[in-house]
Chain A
Amino acid sequence: MQTNQDNILELQNVTTTFFTKQGEVKAVDDVSFRVGKGETVGLVGESGCGKSVTSLSIMRLVPQPAGKIVSGKILFRNEDLMQKTEEEMRHLRGDRLSMILQDPMVAMNQLLTVGKQLGEPYVFHDKVKGSLQGMCIDLLRKVKVPAPESRVNDYPFQFSGGMSQRALIAMGIANNPDLLIADEPTTALDVTIATQVLKLMKEIQGETNSSIILITHDLATVAQICTRVLVMYAGRIVESAPIKTFYKNPAHPYSVGLIQSVPVLGRSVERLASISGQPPSLFAMPEGCRFAPRCDKAHKKCFKAYPPKTQLEDDHSAACWLYVKD
């Protein structure tokens, strides 16, 4: 365990519920994890498993009034964000705590120039020194947008997909945040540009020593830049492991399935493995382990109760009955 590093973020038993017409949905259910200083953590899972809600919970921006963080503690720099007022949260957001949304085409306001949107983290946190225009140009240069001097006055629709994503990243890192949450920053991009963007994020992290939570459903992306992996399934964290351990020695059957479904260069297989079945409906969660209906190692116990988190080795834990010794 990286005990020498202090935690920048620690979630303790966070549950976020949506109250809908059809009933209550626990999108994030009793989630606990931590992120160390300067660490890059990958949060992996299928779409709809609660990754995005987890990140919005950390930002305290769960959509109102349907969604609510009902319990738990979110410790950021050893202060509980749940105790903060809205105004205190606003001061943290975009300054110490930042996030990048997944689709740059809808995450940028189409009616304002890129420069105006880039300037906002400075303006609203009283960080303007000298010319705001100059600061925005520097920021664009930092994320390697060509010809930033003229680009700063462009509108988002004049940017290509890759450039929009860079501009979005620029907004996220404007004030060198302590923690940056990147919600699928590369899904909307093609592979070559995605690689460039990831490289860029890594570089920037090297300069600023920010911590990053990278949310993705793509294990290849995780392998490229993360130091640790959290696997999420149906609103819960099922496994947490350092990157090497995770690829070499995955514990949870779901993680195993995920890894086996990724094609590996140079290894030829007859047919790529896939996980059969569908994730459970959020409205009808199975009583026991949520993965049990799709799991080939499931036994009676798995359908009865949810498995407790088991420590396997240093910094490697999984929630699966296979590892519970009675």
Chain B
Amino acid sequence: MKLFNKKKRRGGVRPPVFGFFCLGFFFTAVIFANLISPYDPNEGDLFNTTMPPAWQEDGTMAHILGTDMLGRDILSRIIHGSRMSLLISVGCILFYGSLGVILGLISGFRGGRTDMFIMRLADLWLSLPGIILLFMLASIYGPSAKTIIITFGIMGWPNYARIVRGECLSLKQRDFVRLARVAGCSELRIMFSHILPNVFNTIIIMATIEVGGIIVLTATMSFLGLGTQPPSCDWGLMLAEGRQYITYAWWLVTFPGIAIVITVLGFNLTGDWLREVMDPKQKLR
């Protein structure tokens, strides 16, 4: 039987060209936002409000994707919105990633009661819907990008903690860790300079897989009015603003959504591919 389990389905790990393409778009927008966006994203042209995209009647090449109700250029806002997406999602992941990694390291390294306590807490945490915390925090601190980052920062750690703990448990048995202990390294030192570098790969893969989901979540929160506030350039917010004009200005809700989908597809496809290439044993499923 052993023989078959090694064999995998035909086809398999092809690099996701389409995913790379999407990410290429996204990062071009993030890096060169100021160079490539045709207008200032926050400057409205009140003589040209809610103009349709160029290929429609009344559309002009001056505003390829049209303008919104304040006459702001949609394309420019989408290009600048990429920065907000990246900022919030990376902020979230850095926040809960580090929280999760630290808790996972402690849990895996200390073991015993500490381990049990942290893992129980993680189970409990995973069962709670993040949105309720967001309501609580947004009521107290007011809705903003910072609130979103804090909320997801608090909610997201269990996955990281579990994975890091698992890695830590196996690394703990390895000779180089034992040697470090024999050499008299402190626990903190072993955790951070011996174990942490070895789980770094895993952390990076996890982060790539999760960026897509986080972008969707944060956009949703902004859409609901619980996140970034006007006049920021944020895709979720643009959708929320455009929703009121849905009956006669379809482009207001369509293009920011497409921008989200392209970005998320890019990250998801690349993340899946990375996982298959770097994690054949599928620890991270």
| B3 and A48 contact, CB distance less than 8 A | yes
Segment at the B interface, from A3-11, A18-26, A135-143, A165-173: A18-26
| A63 and B10 contact, CB distance less than 8 A | no
Give the chain A neighbours of B8 by CB distance below 8 A: 20-21, 66
Q: Is A102 an interface residue (CB 8 A)?
A: yes
CA gap between A63 and B10 in the complex, in Å: 13
- Per-residue interface assignment for chain A, residues 15 to 52, with 1 indicating a CB less than 8 Å from any chain B CB and 0 otherwise: 00011110001010000000000000000000110001
Q: Is A67 an interface residue (CB 8 A)?
A: yes
Give the chain A neighbours of B9 by CB distance below 8 A: 65-66
Contact partner of B10 (CB less than 8 A), chosen from A19, A48, A53, A102, is: A19
Interface residues of A in 81-102 (CB under 8 A from B): 101-102
Contact partner of A66 (CB less than 8 A), chosen from B1, B10, B13, is: B10
CA gap between A20 and B5 in the complex, in Å: 12
Give the chain A neighbours of B1 by CB distance below 8 A: 52, 101-103
Closest CB-CB distance, A183 to chain B, in whole Å? Answer: 8
Give the chain B neighbours of A53 by CB distance below 8 A: 3
Closest CB-CB distance, A235 to chain B, in whole Å? Answer: 11
Q: Is B4 an interface residue (CB 8 A)?
A: yes
- Considering only CB atoms and an 8 Å cut-off, how many residues of chain A contact the other chain? 17
- Considering only CB atoms and an 8 Å cut-off, how many residues of chain B contact the other chain? 11
Residue of B nearest to A62 (CB): B4
Residue of B nearest to A19 (CB): B10
- Counting chain B CB atoms within 10 Å of each CB, which of A19, A20, A53, A65 scores highest? A20
Give the chain B neighbours of A25 by CB distance below 8 A: 7
Give the chain B neighbours of A21 by CB distance below 8 A: 8, 10-13
Closest CB-CB distance, B13 to chain A, in whole Å? Answer: 8
CA gap between A27 and B3 in the complex, in Å: 9
Q: Is B2 an interface residue (CB 8 A)?
A: yes
CA gap between A47 and B9 in the complex, in Å: 23
| B4 and A20 contact, CB distance less than 8 A | no
**How many A-B pairs fall under 8 Å by CB?**
33
| A20 and B7 contact, CB distance less than 8 A | yes
Closest CB-CB distance, B3 to chain A, in whole Å? Answer: 6
Give the chain A neighbours of B11 by CB distance below 8 A: 21
CA gap between A47 and B3 in the complex, in Å: 9
Closest CB-CB distance, A46 to chain B, in whole Å? Answer: 12
CA gap between A65 and B10 in the complex, in Å: 9
| A66 and B4 contact, CB distance less than 8 A | yes
Closest CB-CB distance, A68 to chain B, in whole Å? Answer: 12
| B10 and A67 contact, CB distance less than 8 A | no
| B2 and A63 contact, CB distance less than 8 A | no
CA gap between A102 and B4 in the complex, in Å: 14
Closest CB-CB distance, B256 to chain A, in whole Å? Answer: 40
CA gap between A82 and B8 in the complex, in Å: 25
- Per-residue interface assignment for chain A, residues 50 to 83, with 1 indicating a CB less than 8 Å from any chain B CB and 0 otherwise: 0011000000000101110000000000000000
Give the chain B neighbours of A63 by CB distance below 8 A: 4, 7
CA gap between A52 and B2 in the complex, in Å: 9
Give the chain A neighbours of B4 by CB distance below 8 A: 18, 63, 66-67
Give the chain A neighbours of B3 by CB distance below 8 A: 27, 48, 52-53
CA gap between A102 and B11 in the complex, in Å: 31
CA gap between A48 and B10 in the complex, in Å: 21
CA gap between A168 and B48 in the complex, in Å: 80
Give the chain B neighbours of A101 by CB distance below 8 A: 1
Residue of A nearest to B4 (CB): A63
Give the chain A neighbours of B7 by CB distance below 8 A: 18, 20, 25, 63, 66-67
CA gap between A25 and B4 in the complex, in Å: 11
Interface residues of B in 1-26 (CB under 8 A from A): 1-4, 7-13
Residue of B nearest to A25 (CB): B7
Closest CB-CB distance, B74 to chain A, in whole Å? Answer: 45
Closest CB-CB distance, B30 to chain A, in whole Å? Answer: 35
Contact partner of B2 (CB less than 8 A), chosen from A19, A47, A67, is: A47
Closest CB-CB distance, A265 to chain B, in whole Å? Answer: 31
Give the chain A neighbours of B2 by CB distance below 8 A: 47-48
CA gap between A21 and B14 in the complex, in Å: 11
CA gap between A20 and B8 in the complex, in Å: 6
Residue of B nearest to A20 (CB): B7
Give the chain A neighbours of B10 by CB distance below 8 A: 19-21, 65-66
Give the chain B neighbours of A20 by CB distance below 8 A: 7-8, 10
CA gap between A48 and B7 in the complex, in Å: 13
CA gap between A101 and B2 in the complex, in Å: 12
Closest CB-CB distance, B232 to chain A, in whole Å? Answer: 47
- Per-residue interface assignment for chain A, residues 117 to 128, with 1 indicating a CB less than 8 Å from any chain B CB and 0 otherwise: 000000000000
Give the chain B neighbours of A47 by CB distance below 8 A: 2
CA gap between A102 and B2 in the complex, in Å: 11
Closest CB-CB distance, B56 to chain A, in whole Å? Answer: 48
Interface residues of A in 200-234 (CB under 8 A from B): none
CA gap between A18 and B2 in the complex, in Å: 14
Between A and B, 9 residue pairs with Cβ closer than 8 Å are: A20-B8, A21-B8, A21-B11, A21-B12, A48-B3, A52-B1, A52-B3, A53-B3, A102-B1
Contacts A21-B8, A103-B1 supplied; 5 other A-B pairs, CB < 8 Å: A21-B10, A21-B13, A47-B2, A52-B1, A63-B7
Instruction: Sort A-B residue pairs by CB-CB distance and give the 4 closest, nearest first.
Output: A63-B4, A21-B12, A20-B7, A66-B7
